[in-house]
Amino acid sequence: MSLLPPLRLRKNEERRLRSGHLWVFSNEVDVESTPLRNFSPGDLARVEDYKQLPLGVAYVNPDSLICGRLLTRDAKTAIDEAFLSRRLTRALHLRELLFERPFYRLVYGESDGLPGIVADRFGDVLVLQTNTAGAERLLEPIVTILEKLLLPRAIIVKNVSSLRQLEGLENYVRVVRGTAEGPTQIRENEVAFWVDPIQGQKTGWFYDHRLNRQMAAKLAKCQRVLDLFCYTGAWGVQAAIGGAERVDCVDSSGSALDLARENARLNKVEDRMRFIQADVFEFLKHARDDRRRYDLILLDPPALIKRKKDIKAGTEAYRRLNQLVLQVLNPGGVLVSASCSYHLPRHALHDILRGLARHLDRHLVFLWQSGQGPDHPVHPAIAETDYLKAAFCHVSGRV
């Protein structure tokens, strides 16, 4: 590794790396001594402080604001198949400690020491995402290692994300090992689901809410339930199995609702479920005007704040959405309000809910507060890895 070109930081810019972070920003680099233009996207570099003391090995993208992502703090370590095998084996061992069945997020980027890489395991089908130029360079050996480790029926690369655009990468979907045709079946909280890893959103399933859906199902018994942005029915089907009287599932995607119906049939709860294709905001306005009410509302929208510049508009969208939901929630009901937007911190979601409760003259308390499941481990130095919020709110009349 001594042959790797150096990437030298300016004076005092190494502090964040030394405290545990893994990212190097372009304005932290001493571009006079180590010009970024000398690197191609995905090149490896030896990261140094201003005294030329080694800080580790990173891959580099000179065209990105985050121009370096540290792979190891040992500057002598080779980033080869053996290195990647150690990291992937460690990630697999952790998941096997956590879960009895092979249905989980196997790799979660920086938290597993593999920045830019995501892998979801759907039994004998693996879905990979490489969201950076450096991760893209590592894709082929990672596929080879996972094939040896897990003997999957298929490995699918689902490289469709806005992050890739920031890295100058094209989007594509490709089956790189084996064959994959149509949906595959998984189990979550002992409930069976069909997942479509090729046509579905992102990898086809969102494992991060596993424990939140389990808690919501416990609250669903004999309740009239509304599942908003239901996608393929992960929340709603589990609520129905939990004993809900009725579950209305709303989503704007017809194909997602088709798979949600299949999941309801698979679990023999379709007689208590209704699937409605509609814009969620418009559905809620009509429900409010028609005085339709629900006892348990599951609100898990897509990220409404994707970039820092969207914070103001996105926060207002969360506020309007939660206000409409509270207007169709029965007194004494429960709202599960979730956000996957990193740029909406937990305290901001709480402030929205607190403010709406006062505005609508309701008494709101948090029954339970949660985040992502343990297959999405949080890196203590990288706040961005802690993105998911879920507030379980009991809402009654004024006190």
**Who's near 392: CB < 8 A, 6+ residues apart?**
215, 216, 219, 334, 335, 336, 366, 367, 368, 369, 370
Catalytic residue among 67, 230, 249, 340: 340
Distance CA 197, CA 195 (A): 6
pTM over 0.85: yes
Average pLDDT per run of 10 along the chain, which is 399 residues long? 86 96 97 96 97 97 96 96 98 98 98 98 97 97 98 96 90 94 94 95 95 98 98 98 98 96 98 98 97 97 93 96 98 97 96 96 97 97 97 90
Find out whether 266 and 230 touch, Cβ atoms under 8 Å: no
CATH topology of domain 185-396: Rossmann fold (3.40.50)
* Domain residue ranges of the chain, discontinuous segments joined by +: 6-72, 81-181, 185-396
d(CA 35, CA 147): 38
**Fold adopted by 6-72:** 2.30.130
What is the Cα gyration radius of the chain?
A: 23
Using CB atoms within 10 A of its CB, is residue 162 exposed (0-12), middle (13-18) or buried (19+)? exposed
- What are the counts of helices (DSSP H) followed by strands (DSSP E) for the chain? 11, 19
Q: Kindly report the number of other CB atoms within 10 A of residue 50's CB atom.
A: 14
Is 81-181 a CATH 3.30.750.80 domain?
A: yes
SS3 294: strand
Active site includes 340?
Answer: yes
In single-letter form, the type of residue at position 254 comes to: G
